C-alpha cells in the first residue's frame, strides 16, 4: 500500500503519546517530517496484505479522531458553546465547557456521533492516503461539529436537570422546616426487598392514609420510595435513623439525606439491624 501521511501543527512529542496508545504489528513503519510550522507522520506496512491495509486505515482513523479530541477540541468547544448556550442562570459557561470536554473524552458516551466522525475520517484516508488535520477541520468540520454540539446538548440537559433537582430539594427542605413534627424518631429499615418505617419502639408506622392520598392524586402505581418519602414529609420527624446494608446505591436514601440533612443518622449496627438481617419480624402496631 502507499504510505499514509497525517500532518498537523501539534508538536511531535504530544502526537507520539497518542501513537503509543495504539498496538500494531511490528511490520508497521512510522516516520515523520518537520516542516517548521507543522509535522507530518508517515505510516506504511513493510509488505502487501489487503486485510492488514484495512486494519491500518481503521487504526489511523481512530488516531486522527483522538488528535481532534485531545488537541483541537478546546477551541471548538468554547466557540460552539458560546454560540449555542445563551445563558443558564447560576451556571458559569466555563463549567459547561469543562463538562463537555469530559463527555468528549469518555468513549462510552456519544457513540453514534463518534462512529459517524470516524467513518468520515476513514473514508477520507482511503480516498486520499493523507490528511492535514488543520485544513480538514477548516474545510470539512461538520461531523466534528455534530459530535461537539451533541456533547453540549447532553451536558446542558444534565445541567438543567441538576438545577431542577436542586430546586425540588430546596422546596422540600423549606416544607419540612415549616412542618410541625408529628413524631420524634423514625427508624427507616432498608433491605434488598423492601423499606419500612418503624417508631422508637420498633413498631411499624401505619402510612396507609398517605398511600390512599397518593393513589387519589396519581393514576400510576406509587413506588415504595415515593410512599416512604411522602410519609416522612408528612411526619416531619425530628430524627431519622437509617438501618440496613443496602444504602449506598439507593437514590431515595440520598434524597432523604439531602432533604432532612442533620436530622438523618445512619446506624452503624444495632439489634434492629441484626434482627432485620436474619429476617425476624418486628412487632406490628
Q: Supply the DSSP string of 145-192, one letter for each residue.
A: HHHHHHHHHHHHHHHHHHHHHHHHHHHHHHHHHHSPPS-SEEEEEE-S
> Tens digits of per-residue pLDDT, 180-221?
988 899 999 887 778 888 888 888 888 776 767 666 665 566
Instruction: Please state, in angstroms and as integers, the Cα–Cα distance from residue 12 to each residue in 6, 9, 36, 68, 128, following that order.
Output: 12, 9, 11, 15, 22
Query: Which carries the bigger pLDDT value, residue 142 or residue 36?
Result: 142
Local structure of 19: helix, strand or coil: helix
Domain-located, residue 285: no
pLDDT confidence band for 51 (50 / 70 / 90): low
Query: Which carries the bigger pLDDT value, residue 117 or residue 271?
Result: 117
> Tens digits of per-residue pLDDT, 216-261?
665 566 778 888 888 899 889 999 999 876 555 578 889 999 999 9
pLDDT at 175: 92
28 pLDDT more than 60: yes
Instruction: Please state, in angstroms and as integers, the Cα–Cα distance from residue 173 to each residue in 96, 164, 167, following that order.
Output: 27, 14, 10
Question: Which CATH number characterizes residue 265's domain?
Answer: 3.30.420
Report the DSSP beta bridge partners of residue 7: 40, 132
Q: Are 96 and 156 in contact (CB under 8 A)?
A: yes
Q: Same domain, yes or no, for 136 and 187?
A: no
Q: Of 174, 208, 237, which marks where a domain is finished?
A: 174
Q: Same domain, yes or no, for 20 and 125?
A: yes
Q: Same domain, yes or no, for 84 and 21?
A: yes
Domain that holds residue 202: 179-277
Q: Same domain, yes or no, for 119 and 142?
A: yes
d(CA 118, CA 267): 51
Q: Same domain, yes or no, for 162 and 92?
A: yes
Q: Of 124, 143, 174, which marks where a domain is finished?
A: 174
pLDDT at 238: 93
Cell of 62: 481512530
pLDDT at 33: 86
Interior angle at CA 104, CA 99 and CA 108, nearest 5: 110
Looking at the structure of the chain, the number of domains it has is 2
Q: Of 113, 144, 174, which marks where a domain is finished?
A: 174
285 pLDDT more than 50: no
Q: Same domain, yes or no, for 133 and 258?
A: no
d(CA 253, CA 260): 11
pLDDT at 284: 45
Q: Same domain, yes or no, for 220 and 103?
A: no
Domain-located, residue 257: yes
Query: Which carries the bigger pLDDT value, residue 276 or residue 92?
Result: 92
pLDDT confidence band for 276 (50 / 70 / 90): low
Q: Same domain, yes or no, for 30 and 135?
A: yes
Domain-located, residue 140: yes
Amino acid at each position: 500500500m502507499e504510505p499514509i501521511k497525517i500532518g498537523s501543527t501539534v508538536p511531535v512529542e504530544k502526537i507520539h503519546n497518542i501513537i503509543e496508545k495504539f498496538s500494531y504489528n511490528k511490520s508497521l513503519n512510522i516516520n515523520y517530517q518537520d516542516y517548521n510550522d507543522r509535522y507530518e507522520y508517515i505510516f506504511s506496512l513493510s509488505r502487501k496484505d489487503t486485510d492488514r491495509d484495512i486494519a491500518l486505515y481503521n487504526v489511523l482513523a481512530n488516531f486522527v479522531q483522538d488528535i481532534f479530541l485531545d488537541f483541537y477540541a478546546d477551541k471548538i468547544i468554547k466557540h460552539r458553546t458560546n454560540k449555542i448556550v445563551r445563558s443558564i442562570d447560576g451556571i458559569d459557561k466555563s463549567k459547561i465547557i469543562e463538562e463537555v470536554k469530559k463527555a468528549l473524552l469518555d468513549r462510552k458516551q456519544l457513540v453514534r456521533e463518534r462512529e459517524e466522525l470516524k467513518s468520515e475520517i476513514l473514508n477520507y484516508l482511503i480516498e486520499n492516503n493523507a490528511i492535514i488535520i488543520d485544513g480538514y477541520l477548516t474545510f470539512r468540520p461538520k461531523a466534528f461539529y455534530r459530535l461537539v454540539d451533541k456533547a453540549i446538548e447532553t451536558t446542558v440537559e444534565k445541567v438543567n436537570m441538576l438545577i431542577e433537582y436542586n430546586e425540588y430539594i430546596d422546596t422540600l427542605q423549606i416544607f419540612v422546616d415549616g412542618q410541625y413534627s408529628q413524631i420524634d424518631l423514625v427508624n427507616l429499615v432498608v433491605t434488598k426487598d423492601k423499606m419500612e418505617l418503624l417508631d422508637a419502639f420498633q413498631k411499624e408506622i401505619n402510612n396507609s392514609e398517605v398511600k390512599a392520598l397518593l393513589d387519589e392524586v396519581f393514576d400510576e402505581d406509587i413506588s415504595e420510595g415515593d410512599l416512604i418519602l411522602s410519609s416522612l414529609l408528612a411526619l416531619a420527624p425530628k430524627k431519622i435513623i437509617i438501618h440496613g446494608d443496602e444504602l449506598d446505591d439507593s437514590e431515595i436514601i440520598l434524597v432523604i439525606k439531602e432533604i432532612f440533612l442533620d436530622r438523618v443518622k445512619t446506624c452503624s449496627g444495632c439489634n434492629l439491624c441484626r434482627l432485620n438481617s436474619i429476617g425476624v419480624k418486628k412487632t406490628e402496631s
